[in-house]
Structure 1
Amino acid sequence: MGFTEGLINYAMDVNQKPLNDQIIEQFEKSFLDYLAVVYTGSKTKTGKRVFNYFNKLGGSDSQALGFDKKLTHVNAAFVNGTSAHSLDFDDGFTKGSVHINSVIFPAVMACVEKYEKTGEDLIRAVLVGYEVAIKIASTIHPYSREKGFHNTPVAGVFGAAAAVTVLLGGKHQEMTSAFGNALSFAGGTFAFLGSGSEVKRIHPGIAARDGIIAAELALEGLQGPANIFERKDGLFDVFSETPIQDFSKDLELFNIYIKPYPACRHLHVVIEALKEFKKNHRNFDIKEIKKMRIGVHKVASYHNHKVINTLIDAQMSIPYAAAVSLIDDDVIIKSFDVDREDRENINHLMNLIDVTEDSDCELLYPKTRKTNIKITMENGEEHEFSYDKKVGEPPNPMTMKDVIKKFSTNCKDIIGEKEMENWIQKVLSIKGNLLKKIF
């Protein structure tokens, strides 16, 4: 049995899994985290620009969250996917270097609303979407990234296509065609890195929209190529090196990370390392730093740019993240404001930082992320330390309380306390309302 057949069978098995309390609670955390990032991202310049474009095209199927307006379901998926990624605050999976909730939830929720589906339909489709996107991303990474591709739109479009296929009642043949169709949409590269371009923000939106289209075309009878992953000129021919089949029964949903910081996940281990260092060195004076070396794994070392002109420049830069980690009490959305009054101090610190590929860190990736840091002071004193703890994912996942706090803190001023409480209640009561329509 090839990879395509194995993945389809796995997806169909996931769709039939009993929805126990653990699965539902993890789904609820992911759902609330999605709402936190989509509403917050809808207020960014990019979120507004994308909405304004699609709003001109009309539609009344599904909500564009944060804008109090409905669009066609495919365009709502594009807008919501873009908003959810506009602050780089969305969840992901380390081994596949892929964002998931910003692709799967926009696609599924747009269709749940249009086709009047239930809470159980929503959960099952999201589970399938997560598992498919993660399996594919984990198979092609890091080869795909080293070739310049962004795994979120590459793997995400297949996850969205699988999710919508099962949501709308598709079976094995429809899933085969949906996957075959999806490859014609898969793409997106890292050309934006260090350029100041915000185009990365639309990658999940593209995958969400195109996943819906790939699935609905399959359900209309458009036949996509079979064995799309392993065939000549298929996904693995283009995006991977040595595909690995792993269709274990354990859901990867439990192994995702939920971000505590609004920045690229590769930056988080550096942020945590420096926060821990400051905690243990209360009298440390950043003005006395002479130089700093930050060792990371190969893919993370690409994030070494120091020219910071836009929000995305800041959120994708290890030197910038290290500087604000040393300066700020905590790293929050405002930390990445490029118009900060203390920008000169940040620039000064960035110029002292050298980001390098570290063989020790590379050996551990993508199983885990590690950083080795050496700070040299003006008086010759040296501080050398390592950090490899995972924050926001097993064995240190965010609790439901943490996720509710993330949602409340970021969304209260955007949607109001009443709407915020309504969403929390709707999400946390989904277990008792599985057969009721969501919208």
Structure 2
Amino acid sequence: MRQYDIVVVGAGSGNMLLNEETAHLRAAVVESDRFGGTCLNRGCIPTKMFVVAADAAVGVREAGRLGVHASVDRIDWKAIRDRVFGRIDPLHESALEYRRANGVDVYTDAGRFVGPKTLQVGDERITGETIVLAAGSRPVVPDIPGLDDVPYYTSDTIMRIDEIPESLVIIGGGFIAAEFGHVFSAFGSRVTVVQRGPRLLMAEDEDVSARFTELARRRQNVLVDAQVAAVGRSGRGVAVTVSGGGTVEASALLVCVGRRPNTDLLDVAAGGLDVDEHGHVAADETYRTSVPGVWALGDIANHFQLKHMANAEVRTVRHNLLHPDDLRPLPFRLAPHAVFTDPQVASIGLTEQAARDAGIPYRTGVRNYSDTAFGWALEDTTSFVKVLVDPERRTLLGAHLIGPSAALLIQPLIQAMTLGQTVDQIGRDVLYIHPALTEVVENALLDV
């Protein structure tokens, strides 16, 4: 049995753990798929490259409101797709070669626990003084009658298809469904979204969720409070039967109902590791698991499914491995996120419904993009910024944006929440450039 100082299981964010600070350790990486993990190969990076192209198409079609009359001549799907993966795909081999050239053993078979701190990887058995689990997650495939008998896509596979589907049914109403709904409707597919809840993006603030649902209905067929009863083949491709809503036929089906941690594929129980009720590896605030010497980070250990969180966890875990007498948690407690759909959505902290349900006192400030000069320039009539504020401490409890550049506009609010700044400090003691779009953030703060 080969023995290592450190074994990293998963070469997404886990691959970033090994750097010059760990070069003195005898190290191994176990990765049966592609280096870069979900984010690089099937997630954040390729989807945003598709979103940029989709934004361009929508921008042309909607430019008439600005007096610019234009049309989209053709969507070259294969050129878009090949631009994306022509850049991404070569990175796997170069990353693998880089690790091996720098003395790291790379195992390309799947690994699973056969005992505490012992992994079976292909025909070999390995162990490590330290093991870091960063094996990620994968799409949930729901138990829908007939699904096994029809062709369908998940977020792992939809981006590599050869042609834009004439019509597409998306099962699910979360952030992955929202982004792909935008991409394929922008590229000409007739998109139907089937969502079991009353609105799309149900995890967002209720005002943002309601506005996004309203806007999505302008471009897509949105079915809410809808349960998928069964799926089957049809002359057009696939037929989706919705409880109380009839049957929707389309040429393609995309299943986007969430992701599950890969703990079952690792057989973590055989390694003595505890998991929570959702199947994530249980870890403390410093990322130690129930087995001494085993650590866990990223999607396999938390519910955020955010690359920026996993990156921060890598930095924290590396410090803790190298400084066992000075263990640290993450330096922040809040996890901001953005949904790169149309319009963009960004959020941090408490939603209004969460504050209300928990009985937390709050005040809200809301400003529309249309209240600002740049909002006029955009002819924007639907976007807004909403902030929740602690009325005594005068600090932010949450911030929720929907509209162009939401993922950028939220950044000063993230910093304010993280650093404990008051709304007076960030609303009155800082200059905002006029007539930049950031004035809508300033005005929402002044509204409180």
Q: TM-score, normalised by structure 2?
A: 0.23
Question: Considering only CA atoms, is the larger Rg found in Structure 1 or Structure 2?
Answer: 2
- Give 1 or 2: higher helix fraction: 1
Q: Which has the higher contact order (CA 8 A, sep 6+)?
A: 1
